[in-house]
Amino acid sequence: MKPEAGAPDVGAREHINAGGDKIYSMIDEIGEGDPLCTVNDDVNLDDTNFLSAVLDTIGALVLVLDIEGRIIRFNHACEDVSGYRFEELKGQFIWEALIRDEDVDEIRAYFQNILNGQYSRNYQNVLMSRSGGQRLISWTNTTLDDGSGRVVFVIATGIDITERKLTEQRLEYLAHFDSLTDLPNRTLFYDRLSHTLGQSRRYNQMFALLFIDLDGFKFVNDTLGHDMGDLLLKMAAKTLPECVRESDTVAHVGGDEFVVILPVISKARAASLVSQKIIEALAKPFYLDGHECFVGASIGISIYPTDGDDVDTLLKNSDIAMYQAKDQGRNNYQFYNSDMNTRALRRLKLENNLRKALEKNEFTLHYQPKVNLINGEFTGTEALVRWQNPHYGLVSPVEFIPLAEETGLIISIGEWVLRTACSQSVAWQKQGYGIITAVNLSARQFKSSGLIYTIESILQESGFNPEYLELELTESVVMEEAENAIKILRLIKNMGIHIAIDDFGMGYSSLSYLKRFPIDRLKIDKSFVRDITTDPDDEAIVTAIIAMAHSLKLHVTAEGVETVDQLEFLRTLNCDEAQGYLFSRPVEFESFKELLFKKH
Ligand code: C2E
Ligand code: MG
Ligand code: MG
């Protein structure tokens, strides 16, 4: 009901002086049911029937009112939109016939302004149709006067803009809301965050930003498919607003990432309470088309003004805190602190250095022996990569392998490891020592399309006998997309290479798959071995793994054996092989060769 934006506010009278009286009589003459005139040579262009017919051919709505606001005339287009025939409304007040109750006062006031000459010609209002439907009409209003300046008629021409408006609203919605979850999108989130920041600055208030990442989303997406992944996002998007107040903003900013703005909090504790509530709500099972799924959330929190004074810093810091929460074992929240920034910076710098590490020749391999528990002989060795950086010193693979994995650098680093391990191992192979060299493969390497070709060409160029090569993969890598994993494992196996499942016990293995995987060995994770002599649970787990492995005809290697007690215990459980500091730490190539030759 407001004048259209940008419409010229004329104010002055805008009317057509066409001799009001004549028109008045003309309109009067157009009686009910007058036939449309037929155009022929004799047509009189001033004839009212002719003019009436012309009026009816106009696609726009044409409505004529007298100065009381009564409907004097309306054309076919008006009939089509309103659903009334002209005869039914003739003589009725416009606000009684076609206007919504809530708009009547405003329409009457506007009409009065028209008569006073103080009005804007362009006007939008809702027209009620006979069926109760509502159409939005954009009108252009003019007046006719009697020649002496006295208004006698008001003429309104209108266009039905309902569809255009709906399209505009839809576009407006799409620009600000995420169509999958119906939550505000990144754009609207930025708007709200800037607004909250402005308010908080002005009134000296605190507010919190929560960065939420769903923990199991990728797994659901990979195993159950994208449709189920989308469904999960929708369900999470429904759950989140239930954990916060109406005045808080929950937005979906991409992938499995959500953000919440808690404007005006009195203490940081408010943010932790909300985070806890969110974590609990998302820890409940989701039912996706009959599948019971457990996800979870990692949340990073930044607080204005302590953790940042602008939108980007607050967002970056909540993101850093979220990563910290993930590192802490998921399903928890972390407040940002400046230490995290130091760590994030280190990560960034490490990443930059890692990119150059290969060409700068900063990697080496260390070898750790594996020992047969029956005869005490070295049966194999595991190649473990080391990164010696001039600035950072020796960086642990626990730190840089995940980084390499994330950045994709693992493909070239992994290739280097395999090439080096094969060409170095040829040394003891030539001496006649039939020990197996194990090389770790990361998830991304395993899934990379060039894997088989890379292995084949490295074996060929190094002349290393594949029967002495073992590839170690963690449980989660092979269990994810297990069917596909079986195909790749078979290709590897067909080359004569051995396959071991590393860190066994840490993930969730499906026994039926384990049976179908063409594997040779399970390596019991060192966390179970550590307390094997003191913790009955660990003892039970290790006992079960060994029994199961043997029944599947697999060899078992215990990792991380540090004490004689552990060794003896493992022997009593019939474990085949052990690896650990008790025998040797991982050592450089030359030292390992010495160790090996001395031992034999
Ligand atoms: P992993 O494959 O399970 O390797 C065994 C890890 O346990 C090695 O850590 C080894 O030094 C350590 N270890 C061996 N004996 C003992 C012991 O008695 N006690 C304790 N506490 N630890 C022991 P490292 O070398 O730091 O490697 C850590 C992880 O990094 C490896 O775990 C593996 O997952 C990854 N990694 C290492 N090298 C490579 C590589 O070339 N490629 C890939 N993709 N991953 C690698
Ligand atoms: Mg390993
Ligand atoms: Mg391991």
Q: Give yes or no for a contact between 492 and 471, defined as CB atoms under 8 angstroms apart.
A: yes
Whose C-alpha lies nearest to ligand 1, atom 34?
440
Ligand nearest to the CA of 370: 1
What pLDDT score was predicted for residue 513? 84
Ligand nearest to the CA of 580: 1
pLDDT class for 36, splitting at 50, 70, 90? very low
In angstroms, what is the span from residue 333 Cα to ligand 3's centroid? 28
pLDDT class for 31, splitting at 50, 70, 90? very low
Tens digits of per-residue pLDDT, 312-371? Answer: 999 999 999 999 898 887 789 999 998 887 888 788 889 999 999 999 999 999 999 999
What pLDDT score was predicted for residue 5? 39
In the numeric block, which tokens belong to residue 235? 């369900």
Q: Which atom number of ligand 1 is nearest to the Cα of residue 441?
A: 44
What pLDDT score was predicted for residue 298? 95
Task: Give the pTM.
Answer: 0.60
Whose C-alpha lies nearest to ligand 1, atom 2?
440
Q: Which CATH number is correct for 2-166, 3.30.70.1450, 3.30.450.20, 3.40.50.11540, 3.40.50.1980?
A: 3.30.450.20
Ligand nearest to the CA of 417: 1
What residues have their beta carbon closer than 5 A to ion ligand 3?
502-503, 559
Strand partners, 125: 137
What pLDDT score was predicted for residue 258? 97
Q: Which atom number of ligand 1 is nearest to the Cα of residue 525?
A: 3
What pLDDT score was predicted for residue 395? 93
In the numeric block, which tokens belong to residue 426? 């040829």
Q: Which residues contact 582 (CB under 8 A, 6 or more apart)?
A: 561, 562, 563, 564, 566, 567
Query: What percent of the chain clears pLDDT 90, i.e. is strictly above it?
Result: 71
Out of 354, 363, 370, 384, give the residue to mutate to test ligand 1, the one with the largest number of ligand atoms within 8 Å of its CB: 384
177-336: CATH topology is: Alpha-Beta Plaits (3.30.70)
Which is more confidently placed, 341 or 533? 533
What pLDDT score was predicted for residue 480? 81
Whose C-alpha lies nearest to ligand 1, atom 37?
384
Is residue 521 scored above 70 in pLDDT?
yes
Q: Which atom number of ligand 1 is nearest to the Cα of residue 523?
A: 3
In angstroms, what is the span from residue 247 Cα to ligand 3's centroid? 49
- Distance between CA 357 and CA 25 in Å, rounded? 95
pLDDT class for 149, splitting at 50, 70, 90? confident
In angstroms, what is the span from residue 448 Cα to ligand 1's centroid? 22
Tens digits of per-residue pLDDT, 112-129? Answer: 999 988 888 899 999 999
Q: Which atom number of ligand 1 is nearest to the Cα of residue 586?
A: 11
Is residue 493 scored above 70 in pLDDT?
yes
What pLDDT score was predicted for residue 507? 75
What does the pLDDT average to over 413-432?
A: 93
In angstroms, what is the span from residue 384 Cα to ligand 1's centroid? 6
Domain extents in the chain: 2-166, 177-336, 354-599
With 0-12 / 13-18 / 19 or more C-beta atoms within 10 angstroms meaning exposed / middle / buried, residue 305 is middle
What pLDDT score was predicted for residue 41? 60
Out of 358, 406, 415, 559, give the residue to mutate to test ligand 1, the one with the largest number of ligand atoms within 8 Å of its CB: 559
What pLDDT score was predicted for residue 600? 56
What pLDDT score was predicted for residue 330? 78
In angstroms, what is the span from residue 396 Cα to ligand 3's centroid? 14
Question: Of 20-29, 86-95, 269-278, 406-415, which range is least confident?
Answer: 20-29
Is residue 8 scored above 50 in pLDDT?
no
Whose C-alpha lies nearest to ligand 1, atom 45?
440
pLDDT class for 49, splitting at 50, 70, 90? confident
Q: Which atom number of ligand 1 is nearest to the Cα of residue 581?
A: 18
What pLDDT score was predicted for residue 510? 77
Ligand nearest to the CA of 380: 2
What does the pLDDT average to over 567-593?
A: 96
Ligand nearest to the CA of 586: 1
Question: Of 234-248, 284-298, 307-321, which range is least confident?
Answer: 284-298
In the numeric block, which tokens belong to residue 469? 């090569």
Question: Of 2-16, 391-405, 506-520, 521-535, which range is least confident?
Answer: 2-16
Assess if CATH 3.20.20.450 describes domain 354-599.
Answer: yes
In angstroms, what is the span from residue 86 Cα to ligand 3's centroid? 86
Return the closest-CA partner of residue 586 out of 389, 439, 382, 373: 382
In angstroms, what is the span from residue 502 Cα to ligand 2's centroid? 5
Tokens 């006649």 found at: 432
What pLDDT score was predicted for residue 250? 97
Question: Of 33-42, 97-106, 213-222, 442-451, which range is least confident?
Answer: 33-42
Ligand nearest to the CA of 581: 1
| 390: preceding bond cis by omega (within 30 degrees) | no
pLDDT class for 482, splitting at 50, 70, 90? confident
pLDDT class for 26, splitting at 50, 70, 90? very low
What pLDDT score was predicted for residue 329? 76
Tens digits of per-residue pLDDT, 196-243? Answer: 999 999 999 999 999 999 988 888 887 788 899 999 999 999 999 999
Q: Which atom number of ligand 1 is nearest to the Cα of residue 401?
A: 45
Is residue 570 scored above 50 in pLDDT?
yes
Q: Give yes or no for a contact between 143 and 13, defined as CB atoms under 8 angstroms apart.
A: yes
In angstroms, what is the span from residue 338 Cα to ligand 3's centroid? 33
Average pLDDT, the chain: 89
Q: Measuring from each residue's beta carbon to the nearest atom of ligand 1, which residues come in under 6 Å?
A: 368, 384-385, 396-398, 401, 414, 417, 440-442, 472, 502-503, 526, 559-562, 579-581, 586
What pLDDT score was predicted for residue 42? 65
Q: Residues 145-152: contacts with CB within 8 Å, 24+ apart?
A: 145/13, 145/15, 145/17, 145/20, 146/19, 146/20, 146/21, 147/17, 147/19, 147/20, 147/21, 149/13, 150/20, 151/13, 151/15, 151/67, 151/114, 151/115, 151/117, 152/20, 152/23, 152/24, 152/66, 152/67
The two beta strands, 436-440 and 61-66, are: unpaired
pLDDT class for 17, splitting at 50, 70, 90? very low
- Distance between CA 43 and CA 229 in Å, rounded? 71
Q: Which atom number of ligand 1 is nearest to the Cα of residue 561?
A: 18
pLDDT class for 68, splitting at 50, 70, 90? very high
